[in-house]
Amino acid sequence: MLMLTNSVDFLPHHRTAVLTSVDVVGAATLEDLDRPTPCAGWTLLDLLAHMTVQHRGFAAAARGFGEDPQLWQPETVRGLVAADPAGTYASAAHDVLDAFASDGAAEMEFALPDFGPGATVPGAMAMGFHFVDYAVHGWDVATTIGAPYELPSDVVAAVLPLALAVPDGEFRDASGSPFARPVDVDSGGDFERILAHLGRRPR
């Protein structure tokens, strides 16, 4: 996945996207956890475990110790998410926001073992990955539970170029890939373009 940015000017918008996802997850109930999501083959519990553990992994990476693959395994948080989806998710979300806001985090190399053993990514780029994921995963959750979801226009404008920089390719066909192949859409605004580029059908 290639997404180039040397700036973290988007971080205030990233914060809004993550906090919006916290609100949406807070609307989910325990009865919703078995619902299918726009992420093929994933229930809402699968999705929330993924989102929670990714927050934890990125927070660890921002603090210099993200290299342990175990930190990134959804099964490590699945039981906690199943028992308290909103509280577990919110705690992880606020932790990653605090980690990204710390002095020097954007200049660090983030260890991201999901990309392969020993893989590292410049901090600002890693934060861009995270921004795209949570702008879209918030929509995934909202769509699953039938809740409204709308990001402010300035947040959409900030994430749009990062999302459109995500390339197409065989990695999107892999099991567990966060993004499916792009789909065609007949109409819609910038957020619908983001969803379609990342393999979601906005309607």
Q: pLDDT digits over 72-105, tens only?
A: 999 999 999 999 999 999 999 999 999 999 999 9
The secondary structure of residue 178, as a DSSP letter, is S
The reported pTM is 0.90
Q: What is the pLDDT of residues 146-171, one digit of tens each?
A: 999 999 999 999 999 999 887 766 65
Model pLDDT, residue 1:
42
Dihedrals φ, ψ of 109, to 5°? -90, 125
Q: Amino acid letter at 10? A: F
Structure token pair of residue 37: 């999501």
Residue 172 has pLDDT above 50, yes or no: yes
Domains defined for the chain, CATH in brackets? 11-197 (1.20.120.450)
> What is the helix, strand, coil percentage profile of the chain, to 5?
60, 5, 35
CA 25 – CA 145 distance, rounded (Å): 9
CA 186 – CA 194 distance, rounded (Å): 13
CA 180 – CA 176 distance, rounded (Å): 10
Structure token pair of residue 163: 């999302």
Q: What is the pLDDT of residues 109-120, one digit of tens each?
A: 999 998 889 999
